Amino acid sequence: MATFGEIGEFGFIERIEAGALPPAAGVRCGIGDDCAVLAGENSRVRLITSDLMVEGVHFVVEGSDPGGLGHKLLAVNLSDVAAMGGEPREALISLAIPPELDVGYMERVYRGLRGLAARFGVNVVGGDTTRSTGPLVMNLTLTGEMDQDRVCYRSGANPGDLIYVSGTLGDSAAGLKLALGESVGLSNADREILLCRHHRPEPRVALGRALAASGAVTAMLDLSDGVASDLRHICRQSGVSAVIDGTTIPVSTAFRRFRELSDTGARNLALSGGEDYELLFTVAHGGRDDVEALAAGPGISCIGRIVSGDGRIYLENAQGPRTELEARGFEHFSGSQAH
Amino acid sequence: MATFGEIGEFGFIERIEAGALPPAAGVRCGIGDDCAVLAGENSRVRLITSDLMVEGVHFVVEGSDPGGLGHKLLAVNLSDVAAMGGEPREALISLAIPPELDVGYMERVYRGLRGLAARFGVNVVGGDTTRSTGPLVMNLTLTGEMDQDRVCYRSGANPGDLIYVSGTLGDSAAGLKLALGESVGLSNADREILLCRHHRPEPRVALGRALAASGAVTAMLDLSDGVASDLRHICRQSGVSAVIDGTTIPVSTAFRRFRELSDTGARNLALSGGEDYELLFTVAHGGRDDVEALAAGPGISCIGRIVSGDGRIYLENAQGPRTELEARGFEHFSGSQAH
């Protein structure tokens, strides 16, 4: 006997994968990447992904912005499609709703979701609505499409590749701390920036497509659990290790001020805080100029390099010798953080 | 202010549909049928559907058969694909799991699901797993495929068409009453039959495909809320009414014995009990021989006819004059029945 609290999310996924049926010929990639990849017609593939948000685990109803909740439910799925390099298409939404919830609240959730859907040309084509005996639970399934030769899997990184991230890291994790009541004497403008990055992440769909089209990306995923945890997926699936240069992690001015004013718990948020929803990708050395030429929008930063090895992540700093990063990052089952 | 308990599932769906974006050219059918229908290549369409099951609303963990639960989660989605006439393809499963739940329980859920998946060639290609702060919640999204000219929508019924159902009705609703503790002095064999029909419904995928291929079906859906409620969807979307011949409703021997031994509450279960997961479809008068020639497997029964009208359902009986059927059938928000 073991409970989910004991084995955790990844432990359960490993058990489930172990007993899975052999995939059919049409399944290019099943469990284990940001999206499943299914063979389509005319050298195209179809992408499909699901993300679930549970009240009390991923969000609170009381005092929260319902529009932001709808935005985020779609954004986290768009981020998965972006991480393959794909174009988003259709969404299905399943809702388990407590009977006492105000209908106006859910209408505002939908408005937030539709605002983002309109920007990315996503059609909401169905789903399921039922009663919940407990928390509000929302699942969104998103489909996408792309050329089969351009799909960016997690498994293609090679020793010598450079490691990049888009945008800045840690803003969302700092925003969560602010949302949970941490008060560090930050200006209202900085607070707003960090809270917005937490509540309304901007999925990097255009950048993901451009990176995939460049042909220079060898592996890609989106950052949901922090570099320290997510880069490990690329390393394990590619059979390599990685060295991160701690001095090159891109952070925003607002985050830097938050970090200066916070206690020591904030120090590692840029590397191990969750929900950045930025892209983490590797580039063959010769592709450096190609991808850096693309760096419009959120911008990209080189933060390290792939080395031969067995799935370890090392951190280099000016201050001292190379250290190995622990597999930290948060898991939903651990329950230590609502986010 | 209105709560979900007040406006109900269908009230909410109406509000959501009203504010939806105009569908893109590639969306043949969005919200409002058993599956969304999306344009594919080479005269094919893609189908996609989601169904959500919530502990305490659709099932109980305590004392239940986890394998049956996994079976049913996939079966209800397979039934939606069957109701369009399609071939099932891939599944994504999202789970919100209470941390204290035994992992072995969920592994048995998966085993039940995989048994059915293997029979229907369905690949489980992904999903999401997270912690629940309340009940176990499971969502399954299923894709399918078929020729675009064969899709059986709800909107194609015409006056003069005959109304058919597959299999027998009411077994599942009777099985639910038994599962909830109703004891009517039924034989163990009859109990088993009715409980199995409730816990492990058999999706009518082969029949749905054969009916669609026949070209004789004008409208089709699967019975989840009972004929009295579900036939209304066909009538409203087709702009017609229907007359049911109450003497022709197919019931099993086990159900007939259950009904004889039960109190009056069981009398209407064949027409308004939920979760039959049989197919309800209409056939142009000239197609009668074509569809009756197909009636292998569960068998089909003609139970009435489509007439001109505005979405009403009438019941004819040998005993008296034609009566109008109320829009009864159960909604999950009403909460009066766990099923």
Does residue B337 carry a pLDDT above 70?
Answer: no
Taking the C-alpha atoms of residue B196 and residue B71, their distance in angstroms, rounded to an integer, is 11
Whether residues B177 and B127 fall in one domain? no
Taking the C-alpha atoms of residue A74 and residue A82, their distance in angstroms, rounded to an integer, is 12
Contact (CB<8Å) B135/A133: yes
Cβ contacts of B117 on chain A, cutoff 8 Å? 21
pLDDT of A228-287, one tens digit each? 899 999 999 999 999 999 999 999 999 999 999 987 777 789 998 899 999 999 999 899
Q: Give the model's confidence band at A317: pLDDT under 50 very low, under 70 low, under 90 confident, else very high.
A: confident
Taking the C-alpha atoms of residue B1 and residue A108, their distance in angstroms, rounded to an integer, is 13
Mean pLDDT value across residues A132-138: 95
- The stretches of chain A forming alpha helices (DSSP H) are 4-18, 66-84, 103-120, 171-179, 188-199, 205-214, 227-238, 253-261, 269-272, 288-293
**What is the per-residue pLDDT for B332?**
42
Taking the C-alpha atoms of residue A57 and residue A53, their distance in angstroms, rounded to an integer, is 8
Whether residues A178 and A133 fall in one domain? no
DSSP state letters, B44-98: EEEEEEEEEEEBTTTB-STT--HHHHHHHHHHHHHHHHHHHT-EEEEEEEEEEE-
**What is the per-residue pLDDT for A81?**
98
Strand pairing class (B123-131; B240-245)? unpaired
Contact (CB<8Å) B114/A21: yes
Q: Which of B125, B133, B333 to mutate to test the interface with A (most CBs of A within 10 A)?
A: B125
- Lookup result for tokens 């399954």: B140
Whether residues A44 and A138 fall in one domain? yes
Whether residues B141 and B171 fall in one domain? no
Closest chain A C-alpha to B66 CA, distance in angstroms: 15
Strand pairing class (B123-131; B87-97)? parallel
Does residue A339 carry a pLDDT above 60?
Answer: no
Does residue A330 carry a pLDDT above 60?
Answer: no
Whether residues A101 and A136 fall in one domain? yes
Whether residues A168 and A299 fall in one domain? yes
Residues whose CB is less than 8 angstroms from the CB of residue A108 and which lie 6 or more positions away in sequence, other chains included: A66, A67, A70
Nearest CA in chain B to A56: B133
**What is the per-residue pLDDT for B336?**
34
Q: Which residues pair with A272 in a beta bridge?
A: none
Check which CATH number belongs to the domain holding B54 and give it.
3.30.1330.10
Q: Which two tokens stand for residue A317?
A: 């700093």
pLDDT of A179-194, one tens digit each? 988 888 999 999 999 9
**What is the per-residue pLDDT for B309?**
95
Contact (CB<8Å) B24/A121: yes
Is residue A206 one of the residues assigned to a domain?
Answer: yes
Contact (CB<8Å) B54/A97: no
Mean pLDDT value across residues B5-19: 73
Is residue A59 one of the residues assigned to a domain?
Answer: yes
Question: Of the residues A121, A150, A179, which one is the last residue of a structural domain?
Answer: A150
Nearest CA in chain A to B143: A48
Does residue A333 carry a pLDDT above 80?
Answer: no
**What is the per-residue pLDDT for A22?**
59
Closest listed residue to residue B314, CA positions, set B181, B133, B163, B98: B163
Question: Of the residues A98, A130, A150, which one is the last residue of a structural domain?
Answer: A150
Q: Give the model's confidence band at B335: pLDDT under 50 very low, under 70 low, under 90 confident, else very high.
A: very low
Residue pairs between chains A and B whose CB atoms are closer than 8 Å = 277
Strand pairing class (A44-54; A137-147)? antiparallel
Residue environment code for B127-163, b if the CB has 16+ CB neighbours within 10 A, otherwise e: bbbbbbbbbbbbbbbbbbbbbeebbbbbbbbeeebbb
DSSP 8-state assignment for residue B326: P
Strand pairing class (A240-245; A313-317)? parallel
Identify which of B29, B97, B332 has the shortest CB distance to residue A130: B332
Q: Which of B141, B145, B330 to mutate to test the interface with A (most CBs of A within 10 A)?
A: B141
Mean pLDDT value across residues A67-89: 97
Is residue B3 one of the residues assigned to a domain?
Answer: no
* Dihedral class, residue A282 (left if φ above 0, else alpha if ψ from -120 to 50, else beta): beta
Cβ contacts of A22 on chain B, cutoff 8 Å? none
Does residue A338 carry a pLDDT above 50?
Answer: no
Cβ contacts of B20 on chain A, cutoff 8 Å? 114, 124
Q: Which residues pair with B141 in a beta bridge?
A: B50, B92
For residue B337, with 0-12 CB atoms within 10 Å meaning exposed, 13-18 middle and 19 or more buried, which class applies? middle
Nearest CA in chain A to B125: A30
Contact (CB<8Å) A131/B333: yes
DSSP-derived 3-state class of residue A51: strand
Q: Which two tokens stand for residue B296?
A: 């292998």
Whether residues A188 and A319 fall in one domain? yes
- Measured CA to CA in angstroms, residue B149 lies from B41, B85, B208, B217 at distances of 13, 11, 14, 12
Contact (CB<8Å) B48/A125: yes
pLDDT of B66-97, one tens digit each? 999 999 999 999 999 999 999 999 999 999 99
For residues B301 and B246, is the Cβ–Cβ distance under 8 A? no
Taking the C-alpha atoms of residue B198 and residue A287, their distance in angstroms, rounded to an integer, is 58
**What is the per-residue pLDDT for B12?**
76
pLDDT of B121-141, one tens digit each? 999 998 899 999 999 999 999
Does residue A110 carry a pLDDT above 50?
Answer: yes
Q: Which two tokens stand for residue A4?
A: 């989910």
Closest listed residue to residue B300, CA positions, set B311, B285, B289: B289
Nearest CA in chain A to B93: A50
Its sign, for the CA torsion A121, A122, A124, A130, is negative
Whether residues B191 and B301 fall in one domain? yes
DSSP state letters, A74-142: HHHHHHHHHHHT-EEEEEEEEEEE-TTSBHHHHHHHHHHHHHHHHHHT-EEEEEEEEE-SSS-EEEEEE
Question: Of the residues A128, A150, A172, which one is the last residue of a structural domain?
Answer: A150
- Lookup result for tokens 């497509």: A209
Q: Give the model's confidence band at A1: pLDDT under 50 very low, under 70 low, under 90 confident, else very high.
A: low
Its sign, for the CA torsion A179, A183, A184, A186, is positive
Give the count of beta carbons closer than 10 Å to the beta carbon of residue B227: 28
Identify which of B2, B30, B92 has the shortest CB distance to residue A126: B30
Closest chain B C-alpha to A317 CA, distance in angstroms: 34
Is residue A81 one of the residues assigned to a domain?
Answer: yes
Mean pLDDT value across residues B211-221: 96
Beta strands, E only, B200-258: 217-222, 240-245
Contact (CB<8Å) A15/B96: no
Q: Give the model's confidence band at A26: pLDDT under 50 very low, under 70 low, under 90 confident, else very high.
A: confident
**What is the per-residue pLDDT for B108?**
94
Taking the C-alpha atoms of residue A21 and residue A155, their distance in angstroms, rounded to an integer, is 21
Lowest mean pLDDT across A97-101, A335-339, B88-92, B161-165? A335-339
Contact (CB<8Å) B97/A4: yes
**What is the per-residue pLDDT for B334?**
40
Q: Which of A29, A110, A141, A339 to mutate to test the interface with B (most CBs of B within 10 A)?
A: A141
Does residue A299 carry a pLDDT above 70?
Answer: yes
Beta strands, E only, chain B: 27-29, 36-39, 44-54, 87-97, 123-131, 137-147, 162-166, 217-222, 240-245, 279-283, 300-308, 313-317, 320-324
Does residue B339 carry a pLDDT above 70?
Answer: no
For residue B19, with 0-12 CB atoms within 10 Å meaning exposed, 13-18 middle and 19 or more buried, which class applies? exposed
Does residue A95 carry a pLDDT above 50?
Answer: yes
Contact (CB<8Å) B2/A103: yes
**What is the per-residue pLDDT for A23?**
63
Closest listed residue to residue B17, CA positions, set A228, A107, A41: A107
Contact (CB<8Å) B36/A125: yes
**What is the per-residue pLDDT for B18?**
61
DSSP-derived 3-state class of residue A146: strand
Whether residues A115 and A188 fall in one domain? no
Residues whose CB is less than 8 angstroms from the CB of residue B105 and which lie 6 or more positions away in sequence, other chains included: B61, B66
Domain extent for A260: 162-327
Mean pLDDT, chain B, rounded, equals 89
What percentage of chain B reaches a pLDDT higher than 70? 93
Contact (CB<8Å) A94/B139: yes
Mean pLDDT, chain A, rounded, equals 89
Give the count of beta carbons closer than 10 Å to the beta carbon of residue A260: 10
When divided into structural domains, chain B yields a total of: 2
Whether residues B293 and B221 fall in one domain? yes
Q: Give the model's confidence band at B263: pLDDT under 50 very low, under 70 low, under 90 confident, else very high.
A: confident
Cβ contacts of B19 on chain A, cutoff 8 Å? 107, 110-111, 114
Q: Give the model's confidence band at A25: pLDDT under 50 very low, under 70 low, under 90 confident, else very high.
A: confident
Is residue A288 one of the residues assigned to a domain?
Answer: yes
Nearest CA in chain A to B49: A127
ipTM over 0.85: yes
**What is the per-residue pLDDT for A18?**
61
Whether residues B169 and B58 fall in one domain? no
For residues B38 and A90, is the Cβ–Cβ distance under 8 A? yes
Quote the radius of gyration of chain A (alpha carbons, Å): 20
For residues A116 and A78, is the Cβ–Cβ distance under 8 A? yes
Cβ contacts of B61 on chain A, cutoff 8 Å? none
Check which CATH number belongs to the domain holding B315 and give it.
3.90.650.10
Does residue B306 carry a pLDDT above 70?
Answer: yes
Q: Which of A53, A58, A130, A136 to mutate to test the interface with B (most CBs of B within 10 A)?
A: A130
Is residue B310 one of the residues assigned to a domain?
Answer: yes
Residue type, B60: V
Is residue A137 one of the residues assigned to a domain?
Answer: yes
**What is the per-residue pLDDT for B100?**
93
Closest chain B C-alpha to A156 CA, distance in angstroms: 20
pLDDT of B240-257, one tens digit each? 999 999 999 999 999 999
Lowest mean pLDDT across A162-176, B25-39, B168-182? B25-39
Contact (CB<8Å) B36/A90: yes
Whether residues A139 and A245 fall in one domain? no
Closest chain A C-alpha to B115 CA, distance in angstroms: 10
Closest chain B C-alpha to A285 CA, distance in angstroms: 32
- Measured CA to CA in angstroms, residue A75 lies from A101, A205, A230, B30, B310 at distances of 23, 10, 18, 21, 41
Does residue A16 carry a pLDDT above 90?
Answer: no
Closest chain B C-alpha to A289 CA, distance in angstroms: 35
Is residue B114 one of the residues assigned to a domain?
Answer: yes
DSSP 8-state assignment for residue B274: S
Contact (CB<8Å) A16/B52: no
For residues A71 and A115, is the Cβ–Cβ distance under 8 A? yes
Cβ contacts of B6 on chain A, cutoff 8 Å? 103
For residues B177 and B281, is the Cβ–Cβ distance under 8 A? no
